[in-house]
A and B are shown apart, each in its own frame.
Chain A
Amino acid sequence: MSDKSKSIANKNNINQDERLKKVSPLRVLLNRPELGALGGSILVFIFFGIVAGDTGMFSAYGTLNFLDVSANLGIIAIAAAMLMIGGEFDLSIGSMIGFAGICIAIPAIYWGWPLWMSIIFAFSMAVLVGYFNGILVVRTGLPSFIVTLAMLFILRGLTLAITRLITGRTQVPGLRVLIEDDPIAWIFATDTFKGLFNWLGSMNLIALRTDGTPLATGIPPSVLWFVGLTILATYILMKTRYGNWIFAAGGDKNGATNVGVPVGRVKISLFIGTAVASTIFATIQVLDAGSADTMRGTLKELEAIAAAVVGGCLLTGGYGSAIGAAFGALIFGTVSMGIFYTDVDTDWFKVFLGAMMLIAVIFNNYIRRKVTESK
């Protein structure tokens, strides 16, 4: 304890030392929203370590594989978590992914735009869609569940209709050749630390192809985006005034408004956040596959919400964390890839997914009661 807090305690004749002892480190940890997801991640790794430890799941290649899947989900799960802390849902995430994909592919392939311009166009559309979602929810006071459910259908329908109208198909291939020399595309399409992987390969520390190059070529862009966004979101939530406003807006809308928090603006910005995160997801995947598909991202909104919930976000808002959502995504990614390395039929994945979420919700509910119960 610092001298300052000691002097405060003495002034009021309160023996703080004695009181402080009652709060065990375990209790402090229990009050953190990430705890469930962190524990879950550790259990998942122990499980696959035992069941699939010698199958190559944890080789460089296998690790990057499940990290890539986790990272892609994590990018949207973090944005979904922030919106949930702010007290709202976005069910249009998956449709926004498909929409952003064709916003990149059609201008680049059919209208002859440079790729970077198409990417900027897609992000601009994301800001518009997010703003529209947000302003509808804030102005009408309708539940965001309904508003964004409508947007789920509208965006998916638009994606399909526009693509078919312009291209006559539901897929737009041919993007891969455009990535080279583009001033922006590399941000979403470059494997990093290639030198390190080549060196590891040359030292025979990781698996090689028959031509001598390493099987795992570098850290995929999704992983760096994922790590970067987790840090950014955590910084915003814990360290900025805006972060406090997010918690306040989700915790008690009226109370927050009464003390001067611009609740409407906060919520609109969070809706823009989920749409932009969907577009980051879409850009990475579209450039990786070299093609856009109108069905890309289907059901991703539910996976993102599930990851956020496993990560400790309350469905009622006002509580949760970005790190928790990141661990939630890691659990999903690890299990969805890891299941291939075990004898378990992959059909069981969804059963696991649902059970995991159910346990998380029950656990979180219990924690919330603990946190809010009166002395």
Chain B
Amino acid sequence: MSEYLIEFNNISKFFGKVIALKDVTMKVKKGEIMCLLGDNGAGKSTLIKTLSGVHRPDEGEIIVEGNKTIFDSPKDALDMGIATVYQDLALVPLMSVTRNFFMGREPQKGIPFFKTFDIEKANKVAAERMGQIGIDVRDPSQAVGTMSGGERQCLAISRAIYFGAKVLILDEPTSALGVHQASVVLKYIVKAAADGLAVILITHNVHHAYPVGNSFTVLNRGKSLGTYEKKDLSREKLLGMMAGGEELDKLEIELKEMNRINN
């Protein structure tokens, strides 16, 4: 078996004439956090959707645990343990923590045709799981709407892990959060990786990505600028790549030029 849990080799995706992704390659090991960075329009969304089975790549191959695979649907990806937590989190604010945690996959008990939703067990598991990540759910029947953004994010991640995720794809988990909330979520992500998951963390925030990532892939205009191990990459260099360092350099020169003319 390959040392990588999931590999994407030379993935390309075209929409008509538009080249959304070209030759993107990335690999994630068990227990590793790979951060996928890129500015708006870099192709992050297309890549996530390709990873999670929404789109099929036009070129390239996806290899899961050493086996070449094609995802026909998001369910296919999910069945192989590749879970995606989207920005909208798929949580219903008016429903309770427990009912959200088990939404679509409710545990049942009783005889066939008269099965009931085993709410006691569900409450217990939900409280336990949330407790493990340090979120004190006073009452698992309280509405998710009463939770903070960070807690909701943790709930969505915790749910994906509970239902057997091996690879966790997180779409901008910290973008809507304050500093403290974001650090709570990041801590949880590190813990999840330490427990043996492969995590792909999509973000445009270098300050969130750098402390937690083991490796970094930067996307720019549909192409990968390469994958770097943390030891080979300083925060400054990463920031430069992210912001499109060249463009900023060019801007600086142009501004100097303008100043010179004006003076």
Residue positions of A touching B, CB distance < 8 A: 4-5, 8-9, 11-12, 14, 16, 19-20, 22-23, 31, 239-241, 243-245, 247-248, 251-252, 254-256, 258-261, 314, 318-319, 368, 371-375
Contact = CB atoms under 8 A, between A and B. Distances in A.
B89 interface: yes
B8 interface: no
Given A4-B124, A258-B90, 5 more contacts: A12-B131, A247-B94, A248-B99, A251-B95, A373-B146
B112 interface: no
Given A248-B103, A374-B148, A243 B138 contact: no
User: Which of A12, A252, A261, A318 is packed against the most chain B CB atoms within 10 Å?
Assistant: A252
A12 B136 contact: yes
Interface string B72-99: 0011000000000010111111110001
B139 A23 contact: yes
Nearest to B86: A258
B147 interface: yes
The B contact surface, by secondary structure, is loop
B90 A254 contact: yes
Contacts of A247: 92, 94-95, 99
A333 B145 CA distance: 35
A252 B74 CA distance: 18
B138 A20 contact: yes
A241 B105 CA distance: 8
Interface residues of B, number: 37
Contacts of B207: none
Interface string B85-129: 010111111110001001111101000000111010000100110
A212 B212 CA distance: 87
Contacts of A373: 145-146
Contacts of B136: 9, 12, 14, 16, 19
Contacts of B92: 247-248, 251-252, 255-256, 318
Contacts of B90: 252, 254-256, 258-259
Interface of B: 74-75, 86, 88-95, 99, 102-106, 108, 115-117, 119, 124, 127-128, 131-132, 134, 136, 138-139, 143, 145-149
Given A12-B134, A375-B147, A244 B117 contact: yes
Given A23-B138, A255-B88, A255-B89, A243 B117 contact: yes
A314 B91 CA distance: 18
Q: 5 closest A-B pairs (Cβ-Cβ)?
A: A372-B145, A251-B92, A255-B90, A260-B104, A259-B104
User: Which of A9, A245, A255 is packed against the most chain B CB atoms within 10 Å?
Assistant: A255
A81 to B, nearest CB: 15
B131 A372 contact: no
Contact of B131 (A9, A22, A255, A314): A9
B146 A241 contact: no
Given A244-B102, A255-B88, A258-B90, A374 B147 contact: yes
A374 B134 contact: no
Contacts of B139: 20, 23
A368 to B, nearest CB: 7
Contacts of B143: 31, 371-372
